[in-house]
Each structure stands twice: as C-alpha cells, then as structure tokens.
Homo-oligomer: A and B are copies of this chain.
Amino acid sequence: MNTNALPHSLPPLVLSAEVRDALAQGRAVVALESTIITHGMPWPQNVETARQVENLVRAEGGVPATIAIIAGKIHVGLDDSTLEWLGTARDVMKVSRADLAYALSAARHGSTTVAATMICAQLAGIRVFATGGIGGVHRGVEETMDISADLTEFARTPVAVVCAGAKALLDLPRTLEFLETQGVPVVGYETNDFPAFWSRSSGLPVPLRADSAKDIASMIAMRTTLGLEGGVVVANPVPQVSEIPRAEMETFITQAVEEARRDGITGKAVTPYLLSRMLELTAGRSLETNIALVLNNARLATHIALALSGKA
C-alpha cells in the first residue's frame, strides 16, 4: 500500500547547549513548563520564580529544561533573555496537544501547558517534569463537560509529572476518578492524602504512596519495562510552613466561585478570574504558596531524575 507521506523530517526541536550535553551524557534533566510564566503568575514573580526553579534544579545536581515555542520551534532550555521576554510577551499562544502542530507550522510563539510540555519532553528524551498543579475536571463538569486535556495526556505520554496535585479550584474527587478510569497512577510522596495545591491535603486518599525518589524512579522504570503507555502523576504536598490550610482555602474558593457566577464569568475566563481573586482574598499568600510548591516539586523531580539516570 502506497502512502502520500511527505519526505520524513525531524521535529523542530532546538536544545540549549546545556540540555543537549546533559542528554548526551545521560545526566538528570528536568523539564519545566512555560504556561506558568505566561499565564500562571504575574510579572515579575513569574520570571523570578522561573530562574529560582532553574537554579534549584542545578543546585540539586540536575539540568533544567524549560520548554516553550518560539517562532515555530520547540525550545528546550531557554536562555535568560528569552525567559525575560516570555515574562511580559503578548501574542503568546497557550499551547496544548491540540494546538502544538498549528503553533509550529504557523511559526507562532507559545507557552506549553502540562499536556504539551509532556509531549515536547518526550520528543527530547526527557522523562521527568516539574510543574505547580496539573489540570483536571472542572467544577460544574455536569453542565459543561469541561475536563483538561492534561488528564488524557497522562494516558498517552510516558513522562512523570511532579505536582502539588491539581489546582484546588477544580473538582478534585472527580479528577481522581477520571485518572483512575484512564488507568493513570497517582503516587503521593510521603503522604496518604491527595494534595490540594495550596493545602497539603484535599481530604481525599491518594491511590498509591512512595516514600523516596528512588521508589518513584523504580516504578517509572518498571512502566518502561512493561511497555505501558502513559505517564505518572507524582503528588507532592507543599511544605507545611508554606501551606494555606484547606478549611481556609475552601472558604475563599467558595466565595470566589460565587462571585464569578454573579459577575457572569464563563468558559476560559473562569480560571484566571478565580486565581486572581485567590490572590486578593489571601492578601498575596496564594502566590507565595504557589512559588514554594513549584520549588518543592522541582527538587523532588530532580531527585527522581537523578535516580533514573543512576546518579543517585
């Protein structure tokens, strides 16, 4: 059977020298996403945090690989000026699986969501990725059917994602059910509870528990050995000193959700609205907690990557 295949070509990947050398040497590389820079945090905290995260990965013995789309190329490892530019850039697409090929073929700029970062990490040969929180099932899903493409990506792409659970604005019980239906492992690190982003516990049990980065690395390696498709959610609670307890957060979330309804906020505008209300209602503590949990996740991700590379 003949096909209309175009001449085979390589994915448009641009690796920084640091990342390229690290991968060639089999060192511990940790992928980092860029939506947190363009959409997740205000300037200048977004750029400062991105730099802090990269330095923390290096300090722990790994190599950071922040991923973004620049002029139609997938950049893996960003230089400082690009990071700075991203922190205030306009006309940057938020790129998920569905948008990736479009952003590349149309030569656009884009920041990558959890789903798209998983795909790009996999293309570059990176197996561990640190972020803040993954997407999930949205509150009100029974009306909207709004479920993040991050969740189906975990059923497909073999990358382990270290996170503080899913954002507590989401419907966490249903997010866990959806992941279970998709056959996705959710492993709590040193916890029996699924974390709730700003809070150490959602009150829901986490399906699996591991107490060392090495155990998590063994599980990831076993998935490769078995040839299982898909990734792993590593749920890492924010350090106690930085958490906002769940009872407190739930009050704010309930209030913000009601305000959003009252103000007629719908669709894609809901999450940014709620996040900015969280910032106000917590008098800025939600952002501090967010920064703390991202750093905490980068540390664990580096330890897992070191264990996978046989360097820990």
Contact = CB atoms under 8 A, between A and B. Distances in A.
Q: How many copies of the polypeptide does the oligomer hold?
A: 3
Contacts of A101: 185, 219-220, 222-223, 226, 228
Nearest to A8: B225
Given A145-B174, A226-B119, A226-B123, A98 B186 contact: yes
Contacts of A29: 4
Interface in A169-199: 173-174, 177-187
A183 B152 CA distance: 8
A99 B9 contact: no
A123 to B, nearest CB: 7
A187 B102 contact: yes
Given A2-B23, A97-B228, A125-B3, A105 B149 contact: no
Nearest to A184: B98
A288 interface: no
A10 interface: yes
A124 interface: yes
Given A147-B181, A152-B183, A181-B147, A4 B305 contact: yes
Given A98-B184, A181-B152, A6 B228 contact: no
A38 to B, nearest CB: 18
A106 B183 contact: no
17 contacts: A5-B125, A11-B225, A96-B180, A97-B228, A98-B180, A98-B184, A98-B208, A99-B208, A101-B226, A101-B228, A102-B187, A102-B208, A142-B142, A144-B174, A145-B178, A149-B180, A152-B183
Interface of A: 1-6, 9-13, 23-24, 26, 28-29, 96-102, 104-106, 115, 119, 123-127, 137, 141-142, 144-149, 151-153, 155-156, 173-174, 177-187, 207-208, 210, 215, 218-229, 305, 308-310
